[in-house]
Structure formats: C-alpha cells, structure tokens
Chains A and B, each alone.
Chain A
C-alpha cells in the first residue's frame, strides 16, 4: 500500500506521515524505515532542522539517507517493512541539479519505486511539499522545477491508495484506503 501526504511548509505533514507509518507497521509487523532525501551534512541551520525531525520521529526508525537513488534505498529494505520517504521536493531538486539523470529518468525511477514497493510488499508513505499555489514563477529554471515536481506529485497521487493534504495539522482526505480509521 502507498500513501501520499502533502501540504504547505510546517503544515504537520511529516507528523501525519510518521503516525501513518507507525500505524501501518503496527498492523503489518516488519521494520520501520525512514528514507531521508536530505543529506545529514550541511550548515548549522540544516543540522538543526534534521535534528528537530529526528527528535520528533522518536525511537524505532531505521534511517536511510539517499538524495536521488530511491531504488537503491528500497533494495536495502526487507519485504514486509514500512518505508517513509521524506520528501519529494528535495529529491526532485537533487535529481534535476545534482545528478546526471534526465527528467524522464526521474519519472521512470519513481514509477519503478511504486511498482517495486508493491511487488516487495513494502508499505510506502511518501511526503512532499506543495509549492504551486503561489504566484507562478517568472524564472524559466524555477518553472522547469515546478513543472517537474507537479508531474511527480500527479503521478504519486494517481498511484497512491491513500492521499492526504495536511493543513494546520489536520488531514484533508483526497483518497482513503478501505478500513482506514478517519
């Protein structure tokens, strides 16, 4: 099963996604993985952000770090596990700006992640950030990024069994799996 959780900055999407991943793991057993697309290096502010996320997640997570290669990360996760991927905005920018991969290869990688997760019975919770409801970008490069991120979002929202937009910590349900508590 696949969930897509998105919303604005500090809307509570990570908290919501973590709770969902915990619930799925409790139902299904197996290990609980956290796939960080953010590298743990960086400046003081970056480390503080990562530290805040880590502390909020609490115990019981196996952390993987992978800026771009989602399939390589998935292969490190045993079948039956639950995997939380946080987040697609960073993955998309790293794919466009610090990898050799083209956009089409990024989309193909994501499609493969979704199908492989289902095949390997890995429950996947994917977090992203909505950035397309402000003024449209004037810069062509920002446009390219936004258009790519939206293709990514539409693909994941289409494929996911559960899709939640988080606002002020509360869920707005777009798709709900049968039997999931509301």
Chain B
C-alpha cells in the first residue's frame, strides 16, 4: 500500500498517474462510495481518492470521532487484506488540510481532525509515503 499526501491542487493525481500503469480509479469525486471498492476483485493497482468526502459523508451519522476513526481504520485494514488476496496494490491519495487556521464550524473541525488521523493511520500501514508539493514529489522516511 502506498500513500500520496499533499495540499489542494498540489499535483497528487499527476504524481500517481506518472508512477502507476493504468490504475483503476475509485474516486469520491466521480461519485464512488467508499465501501464500493470491495466489489472490485482483481486489479493490479487500485487508487482511492476523495477520502475527505467519504469522511464528510459520515460525520452526521457517526457523532463519535473515535468510532469514526476506527471505521476508517477498518477500511484500511480491508484494503491490506485485498492486496494479500488479489496481489494488487492499493494507492491512497489524501488531502493535507491541517495547516490552516482552526475552522469556525464544528463539522469542519471534525473533518480536519479525522482527516489528519486517517493520514497517520494510513501512513502507519503503507510501505511507502510520498509528499506532493507544488508538483514535486518527495518520499517521506520513518
């Protein structure tokens, strides 16, 4: 599993496109629901993007942050299991959104927190983590 993280319009999608051959895109921006990736079956490379949308969709239904964080962790673990079962690679694209002013709205604060935790939880499970900044890409080391 690999993680690409960077700010808004940092060039994350291009960075992934340049590194992986014909990946399957599972994108919230294209209307895909998070859990729908499970019906994918075999794929050499499965890119999942729009995690901030998937978190935002669940905020109203799950008022408890810890439970929501764990639900996202289970998704990451399921992706790991999918890799082992099918021999594919999951590539996660995450938006860095934690470097601005604390948002005024409670839902946005929750979104920002959960997105940050997801990034930590994802990085802990990924073999390689890449930071995308102004179109350039740097691998982060532990």
Contacts and interface: CB of A to CB of B under 8 A. Distances in A.
Q: Which 3 A-B pairs have the closest CB atoms?
A: A134-B100, A154-B135, A150-B9
Nearest to B137: A174
Interface string A119-146: 0000000000010111111000000001
B103 A174 contact: no
Contacts, number: 66
A157 interface: yes
Contact of B134 (A134, A146, A154): A154
Given A133-B97, A136-B97, A157 B136 contact: yes
B96 interface: yes
Given A134-B7, A146-B8, 9 more contacts: A132-B8, A133-B96, A134-B99, A136-B95, A137-B8, A150-B9, A150-B10, A153-B134, A156-B134
B73 to A, nearest CB: 23
A16 B128 CA distance: 31
A104 B99 CA distance: 29
Question: Chain A: interface residue count, which band?
Answer: 20 to 34
A147 B8 CA distance: 8
Contacts of B88: none
Given A135-B112, A154-B134, A157-B136, A147 B9 contact: yes
Contacts of B6: 133
Given A8-B99, A165-B133, A174-B133, A132 B9 contact: yes
Interface of A, secondary structure class, is mixed
22 contacts: A8-B99, A130-B7, A133-B7, A133-B97, A133-B98, A134-B101, A135-B97, A136-B52, A136-B95, A137-B8, A150-B134, A154-B11, A154-B134, A155-B135, A156-B134, A157-B133, A157-B135, A157-B136, A158-B135, A158-B136, A165-B133, A174-B133
Interface in A20-35: none
Contacts of A130: 7, 133-134
B97 A151 contact: no
B136 A151 contact: no
Contacts of A165: 133
Nearest to B52: A136
Contacts of A175: 136
A4 B136 CA distance: 12
Contacts of A136: 8, 52, 95, 97
Nearest to B100: A134
Given A134-B97, A136-B97, A174 B9 contact: no
Contacts of B99: 8, 133-134
A163 interface: yes
Contacts of A157: 133-136
Nearest to B103: A135
B108 interface: yes
Contacts of A82: none
Interface string A152-171: 01111110000101000000
Contacts of A6: 134
